[in-house]
Chain A
Amino acid sequence: MASILIPELPAPGFSFENCQRNSFLAQKGFPAPKATKTGTTIVGIIYADGVILGADTRATENTVVSDKNCQKIHYLAANMYCCGAGTAADTEMTTQTVASQLELQRLHTGRTVPVETASTLLKRMLFRYQGYIGAALVLGGVDRTGPHIYCIYPHGSVDKLPYATMGSGSLAAMAVFESGWKPNLSEEEGKKLVRDAIAAGIFNDLGSGSNVDLCVIRNSGPAQYLRTYEEANIKGKKQGSYRYPLGTTAVLKQRVIPLDVESVSIHPVQPMEVETH
């Protein structure tokens, strides 16, 4: 019997039950369905008063954009957010699972959860699944020891850095950081740097696009999630119009067929009996 204090531990190791079946099906001509990937540019920096996370908003299914304005910065706790690149479902579910575990810890201990805890929970889970969960994350947050940025890879390794980029647009964004980042940036400088890095990813990487989302987490005070900080790609206005004015085509004949109403019946609906306290 599982309880809050003694939770049921999952069986260790990854379950390979379906691997043989999947390879058999692929062989017979039924390949696995394509997962929505978040092509992506995600970044995080430490600045003077905390951390700033940034992400683009394009989700792709191979070469088709499946979501033009998706949210890649996920809530983990009041003091930490996590950007996710890779398979959209994996990043979404992984961050939700860890967010709930963090909330339980916060309630059990009565303290703000340190960012390192989130990093440990994420990496232990991803290592258990040996890279099959395609979630590459940039975790950023602030705790009593200061601001932190962690880069977490799908196989379960973690890098702790002052500035990090992940995703297909990471090389473009890293180029911006390597030339522009310095310690103790002001908030305006930091936001501009992150915006420039995401823009570099959006305009130079096919897997990233649409808008720039930012999230500023300060050492004190609530986190500020700036959804659509900048609309980098505004859809152009249509130059021409296919609407034809009324009367362009001549009306030759007109016939109106009225619908015969056979019968009308009204049934009053009885509300369901429910107990009310």
Chain B
Amino acid sequence: MPPNVVTGSLGATSFQRKPAALTKVDGDAKYFRPGRKRFVALSGRHGCLSLNMGLVRDAVSIAPAQHHLEEEAQKDQKLQDCVYVFQCEMAASVINTYSDPTLEWMNTPHSTGTSIMACEFDGGVVIGADSRTTTGAYIANRVTDKLTRITDHIYCCRSGSAADTQAIADIVTYHLNFHKMELGEPPLVQTAAAIFRELCYNYRDSLVAGILVAGWDKKKGGQIYSVPIGGMVQRQAVSIGGSGSSYVYGYVDANFKPNMTKDEAVKFVTNTLTLAMLRDGSSGGVVRLGVITEAGVERSVILGDQLPKFYEG
């Protein structure tokens, strides 16, 4: 039973604008409202709204707009279930714009379902990602490269909407290139993370992008900065992201050790990503790896049959 979701205005004082009329469509959320605040009420079962893209899209189904929600709620017993109301900034790229069910593949935004990871070791960082890009339930690209070069020593792992993250990475590459020329020396990883944050935070209404910025610089060595959806920045020694990351938090917490060697770190990342790919439907394909040190980056791929074997029943 999908949760009862209703959108409506709750007290004109709290919100500045009334929502536009909704069209109810069968099945998934198909309501467009570009870049403005809108609100959803979720039933008690989904008490906490997580802005993980997969969760929001699956959990939300829209009923026709109802004004004067409180009066309705009094009358209708079922609506009293809708206890929690959240003001939720919905990224336009998450919500489908056309409502023709036969062209599902065209309506669904091209998303990198994803498992991505970055891990510090003694002398640099190891980054890794799966290789699956999905459009709804179809795998549009089974050999995607989600590890995008920003500079020779700074890479980013992309998760979320493919279009958004590709565009953001392009813009950051441009800015950092310009900055490098002005500075006269290779830019800091912290600077790259700051530029990512500027874009991801200021446009958080319209973007769905979860990014791991990882690299090496002279000042602080190997660093990883996590820039999740919403646009915060957090430096971490090990970081995971994407829809597949939910399944491997326990493994990462149990197995990460600071100051690993390069080979230990590579093995750790490979194992984690393999486990995530085994459990997450939106992740799969091959494991792409990158090792970033003072010398630059070494890219490698681990094909499906060479992945480590785990219990599969």
A interface, CB within 8 angstroms of B: 14, 16, 19-20, 23-24, 26-27, 37, 86, 123-124, 126-127, 130-132, 134, 136, 151, 153-159, 161, 168, 170-171, 207
Q: A16-B34, A26-B23, A159-B141 are in contact. Are A168 and B103 (CB under 8 A)?
A: yes
Interface 1/0 per residue, B151-164 and A, CB below 8 Å: 00000000001110
Chain A nearest CB from B61 CB (Å) reads: 20
Query: Hey, which chain B residues are within 8 Å of A37, CB to CB?
Result: 103
State in angstroms the CA–CA spacing of A132 and B144 once bound together: 24
Chain B nearest CB from A67 CB (Å) reads: 18
Task: Tell me whether A134 and B162 are in contact (CB under 8 A).
Answer: no
Residue of B nearest to A155 (CB): B163
Chain A nearest CB from B255 CB (Å) reads: 33
Task: Tell me whether B103 and A156 are in contact (CB under 8 A).
Answer: no
Chain B nearest CB from A257 CB (Å) reads: 57
Query: Hey, which chain B residues are within 8 Å of A161, CB to CB?
Result: 141, 143
B4 at the interface (CB under 8 A from A): no
* Most chain A CB neighbours (cut-off 10 Å) among B21, B34, B97, B106: B106
State in angstroms the CA–CA spacing of A19 and B34 once bound together: 9
Chain A nearest CB from B19 CB (Å) reads: 11
B202 at the interface (CB under 8 A from A): no
11 other A-B residue contacts (CB within 8 Å) besides A158-B166, A170-B105: A27-B21, A123-B163, A123-B166, A124-B167, A131-B93, A153-B163, A156-B166, A157-B161, A157-B162, A168-B102, A170-B138
Of the candidates A23, A27, A127, A168, which one forms a contact with B163 in the assembled complex, judged by CB atoms under 8 Å apart?
A127
- How many inter-chain residue pairs (CB < 8 Å) link A and B? 69
Q: A37-B103, A153-B135 are in contact. Are A130 and B93 (CB under 8 A)?
A: yes
Task: Tell me whether B110 and A157 are in contact (CB under 8 A).
Answer: yes
Query: Hey, which chain B residues are within 8 Å of A151, CB to CB?
Result: 140-141
State in angstroms the CA–CA spacing of A20 and B103 once bound together: 24
B20 at the interface (CB under 8 A from A): yes
Task: Tell me whether A155 and B109 are in contact (CB under 8 A).
Answer: yes
Chain B nearest CB from A50 CB (Å) reads: 21
B86 at the interface (CB under 8 A from A): no
Query: Hey, which chain B residues are within 8 Å of A136, CB to CB?
Result: 106
Chain B nearest CB from A26 CB (Å) reads: 7
Q: Across the A-B interface, give the 6 residue pairs with the lowest CB-CB distance, nearest first.
A: A157-B162, A155-B163, A157-B163, A156-B163, A159-B141, A153-B110
Q: A127-B163, A136-B106, A168-B103 are in contact. Are A159 and B34 (CB under 8 A)?
A: no
Q: Which residues in chain B, 78-115, are within 8 Å of chain A measured between CB atoms? A: 92-93, 97-98, 102-103, 105-106, 109-110
State in angstroms the CA–CA spacing of A271 and B138 once bound together: 65
Chain A nearest CB from B162 CB (Å) reads: 4
User: Can you list 18 contacts pairing A with B, beta carbon distance less than 8 Å?
Assistant: A14-B34, A123-B163, A123-B167, A127-B163, A131-B93, A131-B97, A132-B97, A136-B106, A151-B140, A153-B110, A153-B135, A156-B166, A156-B167, A157-B110, A157-B161, A158-B166, A159-B133, A168-B102
Residue of B nearest to A127 (CB): B167
Query: Hey, which chain B residues are within 8 Å of A123, CB to CB?
Result: 163, 166-167
Task: Tell me whether A131 and B109 are in contact (CB under 8 A).
Answer: yes
Chain A nearest CB from B89 CB (Å) reads: 16
Task: Tell me whether B166 and A157 are in contact (CB under 8 A).
Answer: yes
Q: A23-B21, A26-B23, A127-B163 are in contact. Are A154 and B141 (CB under 8 A)?
A: no
State in angstroms the CA–CA spacing of A157 and B168 once bound together: 11
Task: Tell me whether A23 and B144 are in contact (CB under 8 A).
Answer: no
Q: A14-B34, A132-B97, A153-B110 are in contact. Are A20 and B141 (CB under 8 A)?
A: no
Query: Hey, which chain A residues are within 8 Å of B93, CB to CB?
Result: 130-131, 155
State in angstroms the CA–CA spacing of A127 and B110 once bound together: 12
Query: Hey, which chain A residues are within 8 Å of B21, CB to CB?
Result: 23-24, 27
Q: Which residues in chain B, 11-61, are within 8 Å of chain A measured between CB atoms? A: 20-21, 23, 34-35
Query: Hey, which chain B residues are within 8 Å of A24, CB to CB?
Result: 21
